[in-house]
Amino acid sequence: MLKIRVINGPNLNLLGTREPQVYGNTTLESIENILRREAGEYGVKIEFFQSNHEGAITDCIHEAANTGCDGLILNPGAYTHYSYAIRDAIAATGIPTVEVHLSNIHSREDFREKSVIAPVCLGQVSGLGAVSYSAALFALVKKLKEARAGGSREG
């Protein structure tokens, strides 16, 4: 059974009340419940982690590699734009990762447009609100299952 870990960075514990005009009204708990249901439908195990601390997120990525996690869905929050430690943890562990954002980081303030994390990820989903997580889960599961089957079906 595939095992996927969803990692959320700083301030995502405040979803539902934090700037709803930007991030929506859906809570992190609601997103986790949606993903649990979807993961069950895909036949994969899913686990969740949230921290406001860069080192804890880096440690969580390392621990995921050490416990046989097959893939990550990562919303690094503000760390997206400057955390080389998180970027390097993904690169060092080699865990297939999809970066996710609720808002469209490419249409916001200039400093939010650049992700230092994206170059070491399979892909990035942003701007779809809570649906960004579902899209990331779908894509990651598909890519992992294709890899297990021995090939990619990209076209």
Count of residues in the chain: 155
Q: Residues 21-49: what's their mean pLDDT?
A: 93
**How does the average pLDDT of the chain come out, rounded?**
92
Q: Residue 52: what residue type?
A: N
Q: Which residues are catalytic?
A: 23, 101
Token pair for 103: 């808002």
Question: CB 62: neighbour CB atoms within 10 A?
Answer: 14
Report pLDDT for 88.
98
The structural domains of the chain, ordered by start, are 3-148 (3.40.50.9100)
Q: What is the pLDDT of residue 107?
A: 65
Residue type, 61: I
pTM of the entire structure?
0.91
Q: 6-40 in b/e burial notation, b at 16+ Cβ within 10 A?
A: bbbbbebeebeeeeeeebbebbbeebbebbeebbe
Bridge partner list, 75: 8
